[in-house]
Structure 1
Amino acid sequence: MQVQKSFKGQTDFGTLYLVPTPIGNLQDMTFRAVQVLKDVDFICAEDTRNTGLLLKHFDISTKQIAFHEHNAYEKIPDLLSLLTSGKSLAQVSDAGMPSISDPGHDLVKAAIAENIPVVALPGASAGITGLIASGLAPQPHIFYGFLPRKSGQQKDFFENKKNYPETQIFYESPYRVTDTLENMQDVYGDRQVVLVRELTKLYEEYQRGSISDLLSYLAENPLKGECLIIVSGFDGQEQVQDLDELDLASLVKKLVEQGNKPNQAIKKIAKTYGLNRQEVYNAYHQL
């Protein structure tokens, strides 16, 4: 067990600060975030050119260190050395909260393993920001980030999630939104969905309706800009496959191949399809 006292603990180490940056509108930068970026010894940036524009806007002269998915493995030991020597670092992504869809999470885990304080600042987050204005149930919700790109993998992903009751949040490229919605409709049926684009920017837009409504609209109004897809969870009224139609053993085996233990996989399949766990267990073990 480990207990971190972020501001009252006594340590000779520096602190790793996770600093959110605006997702579009620079006015969303907090006073605290600006001050932390000024006070730390180094800023670990996903793209130093992009972050450089932000630093220039707020008159911040702190030196940057490039830290991204292509150099994370070799950079983390150096960053840990700085922290253990007493230097404080701020980790930022190109937009929004660090550690979401970037290598920041690996640095956080490594710092925690060395008992280095990790302090997160609150701030801009596209998923939560879009969710609360979507009109769909804000809780419970699940944030998944980016979806698999291949159609078959997407449909397999949706098959595993289609009976989840939580509102689901996804990031998606504007070039793949139509294909993704078609795959989603094939698996989920014609659920309510909200497409959010250009969040916090001048052309911010919410497209609310059924999946078929959005597909019809998008056919005449091509997308531009960064997008979120928010889809309603399973409400218990959609048509669920009969038990006889499900190959439960194959579904469990697929999850096991993905790294789940058999009992975990059985539990997940039972929850997904609203089945008794014993039924799934018997099917998997051919009892």
Structure 2
Amino acid sequence: MQNNYILSHRKAEPENGILYLVGTPIGNLNDISQRSLNILKNVSLVACEDTRQTKKIMNKFNISNKLISFNKYNSSIKIPNLVKDLKEGKSIAIVSDAGMPGICDPGEDIAKTAKSQGIDIVCIPGACAAITALVSSGLPSSSFIFEGFLPRKQKERDKILLEISKSKKTTIIYESPKRLKKLLKELFDFCGGDREIMVARELTKKFEEHIGSNINEVSELFKDKEVVGEITIVIKGINKKEVFNLDKLIIKKELNELINAGLSLSAASKYLAKKNGIKKSEIYNLI
């Protein structure tokens, strides 16, 4: 059976009625591509996560164009108008403050809506903090999981942290500098102190740092240090030898939670022994 291929011969960019998702630098403005600059200069308008950030790029490269605000606070209001403009033949560029739009920002929402309306979407590739940190970490990078920012609600957060602790794949997380120490404590509780990790700070910028080798070391380095800058964390997946120790770590965490909730050591141990199919005495040995 012969496969049929459709080749799309694109016209000179930007084209009318096209939504462009434009990658911008994550720090060093020289990382922007000529193709991105051409799109920013010549589209009908540029929708920015923060117009002040985008103006830095526009000013550096002497570009003048119409900028409008498009972020998580106003995206639901702006999307219908942007879709209307696209259907009328305008070309629109979507940019985030840094990196690829659509990754942890409302670029994802407008792409979904545009696609459902039959509007063509073209991605202009650019820098991405997750990929930059991953390939800089030296950790396995052929197969990985990207979690973005973890949920704020503790129940949802714990569920993902448990998945990370048991995953055999490298995991990438974004985190606020204000919450990094809390996250490191949680990673210690779920993954143990020996799990390999790298914290990337200020990627592509003057004070770029790659901090790590394991959770214990990173936690100690940040213990009495003020955390500033954009943070990306890369966590190595679990190997077979670590699975048994991790299971004990998780059971111990559950045991402490049950005791703190009011159960006696005996009752909590009995419950966890039955749940995990192990002897009650093994639970006692975890204390």
Normalising by structure 1, we get a TM-score of: 0.78
Counterpart for residue 104 of structure 1: 107
The match for 1:147 is 150
Partner residue of 2:54?
Answer: 51
Q: For residue 25 of structure 1, what is the aligned residue in structure 2?
A: 28
TM-score, with structure 2 as normaliser: 0.78
Aligned positions of 1:169-180 closer than 5 A: 169-180=172-183
Q: Which residue of 2 aligns with 1:214?
A: 218
Q: CA deviation at 1:7?
A: 2.1
Between the aligned residues of both structures, percent identity stands at 40
After TM superposition, give the deviation of residue 148 of structure 1 in Å. Answer: 2.3
1:65-80 to structure 2, matched below 5 A, reads 65-80=68-83
Are 1:241 and 2:244 matched, yes or no? no
How far residue 19 of structure 1 moved from its aligned partner, in angstroms, is 0.4
1:199 aligns with 2:200: no
Q: CA deviation at 1:51?
A: 1.1
SS in 2 for 1:176: helix
Determine the structure 2 residue equivalent to 1:82. 85
Query: Which stretch shifts more, 164-173 or 214-223?
Result: 214-223
Q: Displacement, 1:128?
A: 0.2
2:88 maps to a residue whose letter is S
Superposition deviation, residue 159 in structure 1: 1.3
Q: Which residue of 1 aligns with 2:3?
A: none
- Partners of 1:75 and 1:219 in 2: CA distance: 43
Aligned counterparts of 1:72 and 1:134: Cα–Cα separation in 2: 34
Instruction: From the CA coordinates, give the structure whose radius of gyration is larger.
Output: 2
1:204 corresponds to which letter in structure 2?
Answer: E
SS at match of 2:226: coil
Alignment-derived partner of residue 161 in structure 1: 164
Structure 2 letter corresponding to 1:57: K
Structure 1 runs, 4 residues or longer, greater than 6 Å off: none
1:117 matched to 2:120? yes
Q: How much is the aligned-residue C-alpha RMSD, in angstroms?
A: 2.0
User: Could you tell me how far apart the structure 2 residues matched to 1:241 and 1:223 are?
Assistant: 31
Structure 1 residues 116 and 204, CA gap change in structure 2 (3 angstroms): same
Shift of 1:13: 5.6
After superposing the two structures, state which structure 1 stretch, 218-227 or 32-41, moved more. Answer: 218-227
Structure 1 window deviating more from structure 2 (49-58 vs 27-36): it is 49-58
Name structure 2 gaps, 5 residues minimum: 1-5, 252-287
Structure 2 residue 222 is the aligned partner of structure 1 residue 188: no
Q: Residues 73-92 of structure 1: CA distance to partner in whole angstroms, max 9, x if unpaired?
A: 11111111111111100000
**CA apart distance, 1:184:** 0.8
Kindly indicate whether residue 22 of structure 2 is the aligned counterpart of residue 16 of structure 1. Answer: no
The alpha carbon displacement at 1:36 in A equals: 0.8
- The Cα offsets for residues 15-70 of structure 1, whole Å up to 9 and x where unpaired, read as 00000111110100111100111111110111112212221111111101211111
Kindly state the Cα deviation for residue 226 of structure 1 after the two structures are TM-superposed: 1.0
Q: Which residue of 2 aligns with 1:254?
A: none
Counterpart for residue 275 of structure 1: none
What SS class does the counterpart of residue 165 from structure 1 fall into?
coil
Tell me, yes or no, if the aligned pair for 2:164 and 2:171 is still in contact at 8 Å. no
SS in 2 for 1:101: coil
Aligned equivalents of 2:31, 2:134: Cα separation in 1: 17
Contact map agreement 2:83 2:114 (CA 8 A) in 1: yes
